[in-house]
Structure 1
Amino acid sequence: MQRRFRPRKKIDPFQKDKTKVIDYKDVNMLKNYISERGKILPRRVTGLNAKHQRQITDAIKKARQVALLPYSAE
């Protein structure tokens, strides 16, 4: 009988380090949560909890609105 491979649960970096702040002006940090096609990555990929995923989503949308991030990949 084969053992099934279970992927390791991702750790929420904002939960671990309370000093990190989600800010729409921090474009380098936000790029970690966007796919190469410009889409926002889901929770199952990022490993964030629901609260931080909502904050990341809002920050990405705000950064797109003020033209810090593109809406789609070029």
Structure 2
Amino acid sequence: MTPSHDRRQRLHELVIALIAREDDLPLLDPDQPDLEGAAPGRWLDQNRRSLQRYQSLVRTAVTLDALLDAEDNPSSLSTG
């Protein structure tokens, strides 16, 4: 396996582990809202919040991955 494949695998595992820790992680609502009334705004807002939660989990996984890399190779953190 290549280093990039190993990193992707580790990121994937970190994201899955973070998702597993979530009590209530809603899925995006695929149904299109009725375009009359306030429903479209609520639908968009709900999906936006769900997407932001997933993005936060991915950013956390990337940060954890970088910290793991730094532990494995502390010389990469030293300044010239």
TM-score of the alignment, normalized to the shorter chain, above 0.5:
no
Using structure 2 for the length normalisation, give the TM-score.
0.30
Using structure 1 for the length normalisation, give the TM-score.
0.32
Please identify which structure carries the higher helix content.
Answer: 2
